[in-house]
Amino acid sequence: MLKSKHLLGIKELTPEEIYHILDTASGFKDVLMRDIKKVPPLRGKTVVSLFFEPSTRTRTSFALAAKRLSADDVNFSVSSSSVVKGESILDTALTIQSLGADLMIIRHSSSGVPHYLSRSLNISVVNAGDGSNEHPTQALLDLFTIRSHKKDIKGLEVAIIGDIAHSRVAKSNIYGLTKLGARVRVICPPTLMPAGLEKLGADVFHNIDEGIKGADVVMALRIQLERQSKGFLPSLKEYFNLYGLTGERMKLAKKDAIVMHPGPMNRGVEIASDVADGPQSVILEQVTNGIAVRMAVLYLLSGVKQ
């Protein structure tokens, strides 16, 4: 059981709750391997997705997760909704609740929007990414993927490279990995390092070679130009020269290290194509695992008898 009826961040979860979600997702992964990839537990429930920012992976995998669980799945289109007439986000959410939604999945460019809505709604709210704060289901699918390649998350050395300051994926992963006993190294230019990051329990590196050395997992992050004002980077070419994940640099990690990226990727900026498509890459597995993990989240928050 999860203590809260919402999933707002990894920060709020206990290690036991994280493992419970991952174990539940393992069962759903088996369902997804069958010829008929559908089970009935959420029959009669309605899942509504509100994405105020673009998405390919998260939006599609939540929609598939809801369908695989036999829920009714509604994709709310912000651009053709009354939001464009000035309706507030709270009035929009209350309207969707009144229309009969049981679970609301929300992505927004402002940190804290899912938390704000959860205080006024009776239904479950799932954070699908809020500004630069958290992206909990991405971290859960990353943990699931790591666990499927490495026996135990405890004791692993995980290097996260990139735009840490603007990355909700980095923050959710730091919370999750440290709660499960991994050591996290964050690698980025000083301009992309948020203040107080060390307090989250991560070791900070500004030299990529030092940071990757001996890592079990190497995760590259997207440079989030849409969240940056000018001046964080001299140029994308220089960023790739100093911080791009290349085959040469991967030789510094452990031989059996895996390469991860939450997507969408900027090839030739944060990661070289031969690494993204190479034998150590589990990037497309991450995408596939996202469905099972999101099925687990919807199922555990739905209130159906487990």
Residues recognised as catalytic: 57-58, 85, 107, 135
Q: Does 44 bind ligand CP (CB under 6 A)?
A: no
Residues 192-221 that bind ligand CP (CB under 6 A): none
User: Of 236-275, which residues contact ligand CP (CB under 6 A)?
Assistant: 262-264
Q: Which is nearer to ligand CP, 93 or 169 (CB)?
A: 169
Q: Which residues does residue 187 pair with via DSSP β-bridges, in sequence order? A: 161, 205
Residue 184 near residue 203, CB atoms below 8 Å: yes
Residues near 226 by beta carbon (within 8 Å), at least 6 away in sequence = none
DSSP for 28-70, written as a single string: HHHHHHSSS----TTTT-EEEEEESS--SHHHHHHHHHHHHTT
What are residue 158's phi and psi, to 5 degrees? Answer: -115, 120
Question: Which one of 5, 20, 57, 67 is in contact with ligand CP (CB under 6 A)?
Answer: 57
Among 46, 49, 58, 172, binds ligand CP (CB under 6 A): 58
Query: Is 132:168 a contact under the CB 8 Å cutoff?
Result: yes
Exposure string for 113-123, b = 16+ CB within 10 A, e = fewer? bbbbbbeebeb
Choose the binding region for ligand CP from 54-62, 119-127, 194-202, 270-278 (rule: CB under 6 A): 54-62
Decide: is 303 part of the binding site for ligand CP (CB under 6 A).
Answer: no
Q: Kindly tell me which of 189 and 290 has the beta carbon lying closer to ligand CP.
A: 290
Contact positions with ligand CP (CB under 6 A) in 102-161:
129, 135, 138
Interface ranges with ligand CP (CB under 6 A): 55-59, 129, 135, 138, 262-264
